[in-house]
């Protein structure tokens, strides 16, 4: 595996974990040349998992998109990158389980999973994500969502 920091191809595996009910392996690696630590994933290559958008379009599931949204919601909150990665892994597993039969999930179901996860984790992150996901356009929508959380 090529080191993303220095380009060296010599590394050692520091830790391995099984994910997605044995369908993926996460490996923490350390570059022999520079000592940089990075993560790699091994996954079974199957029929591509798709997300069905509100307008009916289908697009490939994009793990990076989920991670970016969660990172934005948790920005300047007390959560490490490892915690974000763990959340994304969990969400990816749950989405795959929900869409296992036909290899697809609706964008609304996926967004609901993210909101459910963030709601249990951090109320500020929940509101941040909800405001973008639900397209809040005025203060009343924020207030209504906060009241639903019980934070009157």
Please name the helix (run of DSSP H) or strand (run of DSSP E) that holds residue 29, with its range, or none.
strand 24-31
Rounded Cα distance between 130 and 43, Å, is 31
Core vs surface per residue 78-102: b (16+ CB within 10 A) or e: ebeeeeeeebbbebbebbbeebeee
Count of residues making up the chain? 152
Pairing of strands 104-106, 50-52: parallel
DSSP secondary structure code for residue 47 in this structure: S
Query: Which of 15 and 20 is assigned the larger pLDDT?
Result: 15
Closest-CA residue to 104 (of 112, 95, 91): 95
Average pLDDT over residues 33-39: 94
Sole residue written with tokens 């967004």: 111
Mean of all residue pLDDT scores within the chain:
89
Termini Cα distance of the chain: 51
Please name the helix (run of DSSP H) or strand (run of DSSP E) that holds residue 112, with its range, or none.
helix 107-121
0.85 surpassed by pTM = no
The structural domains of the chain, with segments of one domain joined by +, span 1-45, 46-149
Please name the helix (run of DSSP H) or strand (run of DSSP E) that holds residue 40, with its range, or none.
strand 37-43
Interval 62-118: pLDDT, tens: 999 999 999 999 999 999 888 999 999 999 989 988 888 888 999 999 999 999 999
Sole residue written with tokens 């999930």: 105
Q: Given phi > 0 = left and psi -120 to 50 = alpha, else beta, which region is 94?
A: alpha
Q: Give the three-state DSSP class for 39.
A: strand
């Amino acid at each position: 595996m090529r080191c993303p920091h220095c380009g060296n191809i010599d590394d050692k595996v520091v830790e391995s974990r099984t994910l997605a009910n044995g369908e993926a392996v996460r490996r923490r690696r350390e570059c022999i040349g520079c000592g940089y630590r990075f993560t790699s994933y091994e996954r079974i290559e199957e029929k591509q998992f798709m997300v069905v958008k509100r307008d009916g379009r289908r697009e490939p599931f994009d793990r990076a998109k989920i991670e970016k949204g969660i990172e934005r919601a948790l920005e300047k909150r007390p959560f490490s990158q490892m915690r974000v990665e763990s959340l994304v892994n969990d969400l990816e597993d749950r989405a795959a389980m929900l869409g296992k039969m036909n290899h697809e999930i609706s964008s609304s179901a996926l967004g609901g999973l993210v909101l459910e996860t963030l709601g249990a984790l951090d109320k500020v992150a929940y509101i941040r994500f909800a405001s973008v996901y639900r397209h809040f356009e005025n203060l009343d929508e924020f207030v209504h969502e906060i009241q639903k959380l019980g934070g009157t």
